[in-house]
Structure 1
């Protein structure tokens, strides 16, 4: 049963998580961008690094903290809605946060929405591990993938080297969290990340396929 009431501590925790995400996305990564560009790093390379840093420090870390500080889906929903709208508006107005947003796509908005959807399913099913694990694949797993690719190719591209790095995180993390079901899900997520289908990017496919795989494996096992 989903809890609809919340405590003052949960409200404060939600505010703290929100503040952390703002710090990472609006301050920390902006400073990182400025330092990288000042050292001669190309704009698009610095932006891609920042997107993956946000994946890990905002998406991944917050997902890990949620079960320790929140028992309320409503607060999570509000947090996600505010962040999604806050990242959509710059695209709508044509005034991007240039240090991590790009004109070509709104994949960071996809990331936030899927984060909220999968986390919400974890709440509704009564087992946050089922929600958090796909989010970790999407945030930290894909973040590691992107960092490896950026080091190797200095641009946004798909490479099996990145997927191998992702698997080295996702498979053991999945096993430690949900046993065989988690490990299989991590392996599949690491392959699925390689492919995009138009505007359906890996921020949609990775958590969705991971979640469905976990559900199927838990049913079979």
Structure 2
């Protein structure tokens, strides 16, 4: 029964992503469409730990989504309402989601989800703010303010709820770390934000003995 529900839940969530992906054509701004999709994937990620009994189906679906977004780039036929030539950000995001869910599911799924939400919601809102404030992709202060404003409460609430409120500060530090690395141009945000946020929180967990209670 659990496996059957995994299949059903997986199909529902995957189809919901495709619906939002194609519905985002109505936005008429490829950059904003991209962020709308990001934020919906974040909402799906929040449901994932409750929807599946194990990592097999969510990881497989994330891998499928990685291939789905990569294929148009390989063929040179990008989906123009949210994809850009030579910009593989959405592919990296799907790939990092696949890797973090696979790596952390048995250890601490909420650690992975929190780090990925810094990207999906924190960077998603950041991109929208920057687009309307500057009219282009620019690492300005307003975007950083938006990233911190979204990510810090997110880290506080989600990490505190899942690991105990005495350790909620770890989520805050992870959010600040993710916000800091987002401002840099070290590598693609879709890689650096979840990896750096995850690593910082993971190391703090090891140092403090924090563990998931949810």
Q: TM-score, normalised by structure 2?
A: 0.90
What is the deviation of 1:194? 1.1
Work out which of the residue numbers 197, 204, 207 in structure 2 matches 1:217: 204
Regions of 4+ moved over 6 Å:
none
1:168-199 CA-to-partner distances (Å, cap 9, x unmatched) read 111121112220111000011111101223xx
Give yes or no for the alignment of 1:107 onto 2:89: yes
Q: Give the match for residue 47 of structure 1.
A: 30
How far, CA to CA, are the matches of 1:181 and 1:69 in structure 2? Answer: 26
Give yes or no for the alignment of 1:155 onto 2:136: yes
How far, CA to CA, are the matches of 1:81 and 1:104 in structure 2? Answer: 20
How far, CA to CA, are the matches of 1:63 and 1:192 in structure 2? Answer: 22
Alignment of 1:61-210 (within 5 A): 61-125=43-107, 127-178=108-159, 179-197=168-186, 200-210=187-197
How far, CA to CA, are the matches of 1:113 and 1:180 in structure 2? Answer: 28
How far, CA to CA, are the matches of 1:142 and 1:208 in structure 2? Answer: 14
Give yes or no for the alignment of 1:30 onto 2:28: no
What is the deviation of 1:97? 0.3
How far, CA to CA, are the matches of 1:173 and 1:22 in structure 2? Answer: 25
What is the deviation of 1:6? 4.8
Q: TM-score, normalised by structure 1?
A: 0.87
What is the deviation of 1:113? 0.5
Structure 2 gap ranges (5+) = 160-167, 209-214
User: Secondary structure of 1:99's match?
Assistant: coil
How far, CA to CA, are the matches of 2:202 and 2:27 in structure 1? Answer: 39
How far, CA to CA, are the matches of 1:166 and 1:193 in structure 2? Answer: 8
User: Secondary structure of 1:193's match?
Assistant: helix
Aligned-residue Cα RMSD (Å) equals 1.3
Contact 1:119 1:135 (8 Å CA) reproduced: no
What is the deviation of 1:31? 2.1
Structure 1 gap ranges (5+) = 34-45
User: Secondary structure of 2:44's match?
Assistant: helix
Q: Give the match for residue 13 of structure 2.
A: 17
What is the deviation of 1:67? 1.3
Matched length: 200
How far, CA to CA, are the matches of 1:189 and 1:112 in structure 2? Answer: 18
1:7-44 CA-to-partner distances (Å, cap 9, x unmatched) read 21110000001100100112x111222xxxxxxxxxxx
Give yes or no for the alignment of 1:60 onto 2:42: yes
